[in-house]
Structure 1
Amino acid sequence: METFEAQTIDEAIAAASAAFKADRDQLDIQVLEQPRHGFLGFGRRNAKIQAELKRPVQPQKPIEKKPAAKSQPAKKTVVVKTAKPTDKKQNVKPAANDSNEPDALEMERRHQANVQKMNQAAQALCGYLKDVLAALGVMAKPKIVKLRTHELVVDLQADNSGRVIGFHGRRINALEQLGTAFLSYHGVDDPGLILDTSNYRQKRQQSLEKLAARCVTEVIATGQAVFLDPMPARERKYLHHVLEDNPRVKTYSHGRDPYRSVVVAPKN
């Protein structure tokens, strides 16, 4: 193929047509470079193509039809009579199906492997949390309370639990997010981590229930929606659960994390 260059693609194709003395449809054209105008005359580039004459299409040879084969005389079919089946039922016991046993054993093996993985990650997490709290000036002893394949509850035992919890639970919630990322990094799939100290989580649920009751009273009295402060996803979910059956109000979440909050509004 020959190379042609011009300011535009059309001009390059026209040059190729003139060189081969053929129309555009009679050429095989391949664009190598698109033209570029540049800026203030700098970086300008012409169009570049390669072209050649199309090869003539060779006519296909007609396919010779072979004469049909002579028909062979049909062979006689011999019918063989078989004995009629008896009405007596044969006591044939099905073979035992042991296909479920390997599956159950494999599932149990995987479960134990996942529990072992969570256990190793949990032990490493306890040491990590202890070091983080020590860096914050808080002496605490993490203790594993509950351990499942994807669930872990750790109690942070400390003399001053208030310093572990932080203002409005911000410190313990931040540590919980950090711990969840730690477990994921150590190979635990979809970990559910709960950090607690001095029964803070249960007390927090009781506070949320009282908060929900106050919000319902205010919404009914004023007819206006109540926007709560931002809170973690678990606490938002708990508030939705507490008020889901209330006939007077409805709840929904508003905003984006970490500033996502719950809104309590009139139902009608």
Structure 2
Amino acid sequence: MNQITQTAPTKEEAIAIALEKLGVPMQDVSITVVDEGKKGFLGFGVKPAVVQVTVLKREIVEEAPIKEEVKVEELQPVHEFEVSTPVEDEVPSKEQTNELAVEETIQYIEKIAKEMKIDDLVITEKRDGKFIHLHLNSEKAALLIGKRGQTLNALENLTQLVANKFSNSFIIIKLDVGNYRERRRESLEQLAERMADKAVRTGKKVEFEPMSSFERKIIHHALSFRVDIETYSVGTDPNRYLVIEPIK
């Protein structure tokens, strides 16, 4: 696959998803924003963003490209841009580029936190292969999480772009605040069982409110072993929701 058109609630999320599907870093693609989308108001007028991501052909050039200082502000999506591939001899090792990617990502998170008036943020790091887990701790944890984790999810999407801007290999950034992810998973699994029991008891399908694909997957997986119900998703993001229907 050399090109993909991706739809998501935001441009940043669409780019991050496309990069993950293609399995390539940011510097190996060109990106065209087909539609910037709209945030809407109170759930009305929401329009998803659409981006087209194309894998660039790798070519060895005779002269090394001029290195330019990259600022976080330059990571804002533009309508079309390309990042050239460095000469092979100048490409640092994966360990070195991943170190830089993590460092830049942490600095980006700290900058966002300061803008949110959070001055006690502590970030701890854990690595597991291509996964980089960053745990954020603060007395103002609620601000970093947001309603149903929306702020945390948005921040994770943005940091994914930052990380792969500086990394030579595709890495996946996972953010958590005060073990929120695990607590949310447990809460969704318990909710899934209750709603499944309700669907069987009443003989009627149960519909959830719109939620992210990550949270829908948690519920799908939690109920995958039950033979008395089936689960499926309906609609398009960001208003896609999950349905539990009893098997009669």
User: 1:155 aligns to what?
Assistant: 135
Larger Rg: 1
1:209 maps to 2:160: no
- From 236, 244, 248, the counterpart of 2:224: 244
* CA deviation string 1:131-152 (max 9, x = no partner): 1121122235352432244211
The answer to whether the 8 Å contact 1:226/1:264 transfers is: yes
Match of 2:149 among 155, 160, 169: 169
Q: Assess, with a 3 A threshold, how the Cα gap between structure 1 residues 188 and 204 changes in structure 2: closer, same or farther.
A: farther
- The alignment yields a C-alpha RMSD, in angstroms, of 2.0
With normalisation by structure 2, the TM-score equals 0.58
Distance 1:259 1:193, change over 3 A: farther
The C-alpha deviation readout for 1:182-237, integer Å capped at 9, x for no partner, is 22322354432221111111111110111101111221122222221222222221
> Aligned residue for 1:234?
214
Of residues 240, 243, 248, the one that matches 1:260 is: 240
CA distance in 2, matches of 1:260, 1:188: 34
Corresponding position: 1:117 with 2:90: no
Q: Alpha carbons of 1:142 and 1:121: their partners in 2 closer, same or farther (altered >3 Å)?
A: farther
1:64-143 equivalent positions in 2, closer than 5 A:
113-143=93-123
TM-score in terms of structure 1 length: 0.54
SS of equivalent residue, structure 1 residue 147: strand
Write out aligned runs for 1:23-42 (5 A). none
Please give the per-residue CA displacement for 1:32-91, whole angstroms capped at 9, x wherever unaligned.
xxxxxxxxxxxxxxxxxxxxxxxxxxxxxxxxxxxxxxxxxxxxxxxxxxxxxxxxxxxx
The answer to whether the 8 Å contact 1:145/1:155 transfers is: yes
After superposition, the Cα gap between the structure-2 partners of 1:225 and 1:193, relative to the gap in structure 1 and judged at 3 Å, is farther
Find 1:145's aligned residue among 120, 125, 132: 125
Query: Which structure is higher in RCO with an 8 Å CA cutoff and minimum separation 6?
Result: 2
2:101, 2:165 within 8 Å by CA — same for their partners in 1?
A: no
Which stretch of the first structure deviates more once superposed, 210-219 or 131-140? 131-140
Asked whether the equivalents of residues 151 and 193 of structure 1 are also in contact (C-alpha less than 8 Å), the reply is: yes
AA at the equivalent of 1:204: R
- Is the contact between residue 250 and residue 267 of structure 1 (CA under 8 Å) also seen in structure 2? yes
Shift of residue 130 of structure 1? 0.9
**Given the superposition, is the C-alpha separation of residues 142 and 114 from structure 1 closer, same or farther in structure 2, using an over 3 Å criterion?**
farther
Q: Determine if contact 2:192/2:219 at 8 Å carries over to the other structure.
A: yes
SS for the counterpart of 2:209 is coil
Matched positions, count: 157
SS at match of 1:253: strand
User: In the superposition, relative to structure 1, how do residues 233 and 135 fare at CA in structure 2: closer, same or farther (>3 Å)?
Assistant: same
Are residue 186 (structure 1) and residue 166 (structure 2) matched?
Answer: yes
CA distance in 2, matches of 1:113, 1:149: 15
CA contact (8 A) 1:130 1:140 kept: no
Deviation at 1:159, TM superposition (A): 1.2
Cα distance in 2, alignment partners of residues 140 and 162 from structure 1 = 13
Q: Which residue identity lines up with residue 195 of structure 2 in the other structure?
A: C
- 1:160 corresponds to which letter in structure 2? K
